[in-house]
Amino acid sequence: MFKRPIYKWTLYSCEPNCRQTAKLLEMDEFQSQLGMRIRRLREKRGYTQESFADACGLHRNFMGSVERGRQNLTLKSLRIIAQGLGTSMAKLLSGLG
């Protein structure tokens, strides 16, 4: 019976997982940067987190998660937030990642 060396098996089985982990870390960083941008713009416009969430028709806990980079936004939510901030989705996402 042919025995496959362990290092080859580890290399092949680990490679996709390593890439997936790197992509997840990149997405976490992207969400954090977006959340910080949203918070900065919200504060610049004089909104509290709760008042902004109310104005947009979103829950304040949801907005808190977005600003901390813990919430993965849908396009619909991103559009609502961008409109609430008086900007476009394109400008909100520009230069991130």
pLDDT tens digit at each of 97 positions of the chain? 555 444 443 334 445 555 656 665 588 889 999 999 999 999 999 999 999 999 999 999 999 999 999 999 999 999 999 999 999 999 999 988 7
In a domain, 54, yes or no: yes
* Number of structural domains in the chain: 1
Q: Which structural domain range is residue 72 located in?
A: 8-93
In a domain, 39, yes or no: yes
In a domain, 37, yes or no: yes
Per-residue tokens: 8: 């080859």
Q: Is the dihedral of CA 40, 42, 46, 50 positive or negative?
A: negative
In a domain, 1, yes or no: no
pTM score of the predicted model? 0.75
In a domain, 13, yes or no: yes
Report how far residue 11's alpha carbon sits from residue 40's, in angstroms, rounded to the nearest whole number.
43
Domain CATH code at residue 87: 1.10.260.40
In a domain, 2, yes or no: no
